[in-house]
Structures are given as C-alpha cells and as structure tokens.
C-alpha cells in the first residue's frame, strides 16, 4: 500500500486508522521472509548431513566393524526452538512470552548390524508454562519417529554416529485468560482456549558414544529439527496460525543398555569348542611297581 503518490497521504492514513494494519502487514512480511530463510537453512543442513552420512558409510566400511546387538534407554533432551512467529501472536494478544528452551524426556532403542548400520525408534515429549499477573500460556511438544544411523568405531573406543529421524508429532497450546473466582464463574465465563497442531518432522544429528561397560554405553547427541506443521485444531474447527515450520537445535544425553547378540556361527563355534576333548599333557603314567620287586 502506497502512502505517497498512491492516493493516500500520511494524514489520511492516520484519519482512517490504518497504521496498525500496515504495522501488522509489515510484521507478517518480515515473518514470512524469516521463515523462508530458516527453511532454506534447514534444507541445506539436511543435504550436508546426507553427504556426511554417505561419506561415513564409505569410510566406515574399511574401519573397525561394530558387533551385532541391540540397545536402548532413556533420552533426556533440551530443545532450542525458534518460536518467533508464535510469540509475536501470543504477546500481541497480551499473553506472556513462551520460552524457546524446552526440556523433554523420552527414550530410544535400536538394533545394530555388523556393518555399523542401525535401525530403531525414538519418542520424546515435554511442556513449558509462562505466566504473568493474570494470564498464562502452556506450550507442549510430543515427537516420535523411526531412526537410521551409521556408526563408525575407532581404536580408542569412541564411536562416531551420523543419523536421522523421520517422524511426526503434535504441538499443544493452552491459553488461560484468568483464574475463576468460583465454580459458577468458571462455568459461566469461558477462560481457557486449548488447541493442537500436528506436524511431520525430520531430524539430522551427530552423536559420540563411549562404552565403559560391555552392556552399557553413554552418548551425547546434537541435531537439528525441521518440521512442517498442520493447521491448528480447536475442537472441530481448523484454522491456520504460526508456526508454519518449526525449527531448532536438539541436544540429548543418553545412557543405553544392551550388548552383543550371538549369531548362529558364534553359537556353533562355542558349542564345538566345548565338545572338543582336553589336550593330553604328554606325561605318561609311571609304571606300576611289581610285587616283591
């Protein structure tokens, strides 16, 4: 919309009260541009991670091979989310700002092959609540998916893992306008708005593992989450709203339990070794003494 030379002067804009509208339009355009930049960065990160994964698969084929086995355990994580668009809408309505630092708790499990390739699954969820004098906002996230990893072990005992998770999840947003004074007040005057939003996500990550015990491994993981969201759902009603894309860094610390699984060849070799007779010492028994000798 042109202010000068387009039919509307500055005074006319003030008279019509269009400055708030223009301000919202500018914020919308800025948020759209920021979303496009974040999306391009996410795509670039996924491409780079895919190339690293392919290189790791090629190099790892000639390195120390990981033994066949299974494992799993708890996975606490910290998410550094980008909620700029959502916070702009929430704070503009008079609610407190949502924290972009989210702690989640979940777990993961996998089955590994002898060539270092792993398949498994994971799930995690958490929520954060922000409040001011009268109003509060609760933001929750649940996420689950299928994981594929390539692990490359070193002679020092440290294992480097490149992987990705393809999954889905949901966002939960609850806005509390005020606290009721009584039961009649709570029933007569609505004060809570609760809505959900589904999403489809891809997470690329790198992890470092150490195995202090044969049946336990510790792991630090750092990844990047990119998600494409659905519209918000309020009961049976659907409507669009931020965030359209959800991005953020994910840091996880995991303790995994599990060990090597014997295959048929290992079991057969162990059985054959047990069935073989002990080797003779090579010392002959002394001759028996003759009576009267």
- End-to-end, the C-alpha distance of the chain in Å comes to 130
Tell the CATH topology of 17-260: Porin (2.40.160)
Mean pLDDT of the chain: 77
pLDDT tens readout for residues 245-268: 999 999 999 998 886 655 444 444
Record the pTM. 0.68
Percentage with pLDDT > 70 across the chain = 65
Q: Which residues contact 129 (CB under 8 A, 6 or more apart)?
A: 136, 137, 138, 139
Q: What CA–CA distance (Å, rounded) separates 62 from 28?
A: 52
From 159, 149, 163, select the one nearest 66 (Cα to Cα). Answer: 159
Residue 280 has pLDDT above 80, yes or no: no
Q: Calculate mean pLDDT across residues 145-171.
A: 92
C-beta of residue 209 within 8 angstroms of C-beta of residue 151: yes
pLDDT tens readout for residues 47-94: 555 545 544 454 444 455 566 778 889 999 999 999 999 999 999 999
Q: Calculate mean pLDDT across residues 225-232.
A: 96
């Amino acid at each position: 919309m042109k202010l000068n030379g387009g039919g509307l002067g500055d005074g006319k804009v003030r008279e019509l009260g269009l400055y708030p509208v223009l301000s919202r339009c500018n914020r919308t355009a800025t948020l759209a541009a920021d979303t496009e930049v974040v999306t391009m960065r996410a795509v670039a990160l996924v491409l780079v991670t895919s190339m690293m994964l392919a290189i790791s698969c090629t190099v790892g084929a000639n390195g120390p091979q990981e033994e066949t086995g299974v494992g799993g355990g708890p996975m606490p994580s910290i998410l550094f989310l980008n909620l700029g668009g959502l916070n702009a809408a929430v704070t503009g309505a008079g609610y407190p700002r949502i924290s972009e630092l989210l702690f989640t708790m979940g777990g993961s499990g996998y089955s590994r092959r002898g060539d270092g390739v792993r398949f498994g699954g994971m799930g995690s969820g958490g929520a954060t609540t922000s409040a001011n004098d009268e109003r509060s906002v609760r933001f929750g996230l649940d996420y689950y998916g299928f994981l594929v990893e390539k692990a490359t072990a070193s002679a020092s005992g440290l294992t480097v893992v490149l992987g990705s998770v393809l999954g889905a999840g949901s966002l939960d947003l609850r806005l509390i306008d005020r606290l009721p004074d009584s039961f009649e007040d709570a029933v007569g005057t609505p004060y809570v708005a609760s809505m959900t939003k589904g999403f489809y996500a891809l997470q690329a990550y790198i992890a470092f593992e150490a195995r202090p015990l044969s049946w336990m491994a510790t792991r630090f993981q750092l990844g990047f989450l990119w998600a494409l969201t659905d519209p918000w759902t309020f009961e049976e009603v659907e409507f669009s709203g931020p965030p359209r894309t959800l991005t953020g860094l994910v840091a996880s610390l995991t303790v995994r339990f599990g060990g090597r699984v014997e295959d048929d060849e290992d079991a057969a070799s162990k059985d054959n070794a047990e069935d073989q007779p002990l080797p003779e010492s090579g010392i002959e028994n002394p001759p028996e003494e003759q009576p009267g000798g």
